[in-house]
Structure 1
Amino acid sequence: MATNLRLGGEAEAALRAEAERTGRSQQHILREAVGKYLGLIPSQADHVDPLIARGKVAPPRVPFRDVRPRLHLEQGESSLDLLDRDDRT
């Protein structure tokens, strides 16, 4: 069955990020989520991302959110220019 799905901006960004991070298609992720929600696919509560399981990455503390940079540098300026002279190495 084909269907259209309209996502909010934050959900769309989270879906794109997860697809890019995992290398799976957005469609695959959505099918899996619907299947789990409807009980068609067993939910694996013990399933952990391999990087989290190996201790390479900490699990997220909050749900996905799109972070916007707060600092805007002028043309030709770098973050090193913002440090005091004593802080530069």
Structure 2
Amino acid sequence: MATNLRLRHDAAIALQEYSARTGLSQQEILRRALDAYLENEAKPASTYRASLIPPRRPFQRSEELLVLPDGVTSDTLLDRDDRF
């Protein structure tokens, strides 16, 4: 089935860049995206939405950056035994 699709300018640019970067055709990228969307939407809500907890507040960019001490990286913080 052939169809026309009008994308926002920024979405069209992103699609072109992704296509160039991956070597996939724009049609193939859109087909895969549609397949993934339909697969997720076709599932009963209880299989994947029931465990989602809505955020307490919308996403906001942080105005303050965390400065780590010398020798400490974010990888160091994530690689801890006491996290769980």
Shorter-chain TM-score category? 0.3 to 0.5
Higher relative contact order (CA 8 A, sep 6+): 1
TM-score, length of structure 1 as denominator length: 0.44
The answer to which structure has the higher helix fraction is: 2
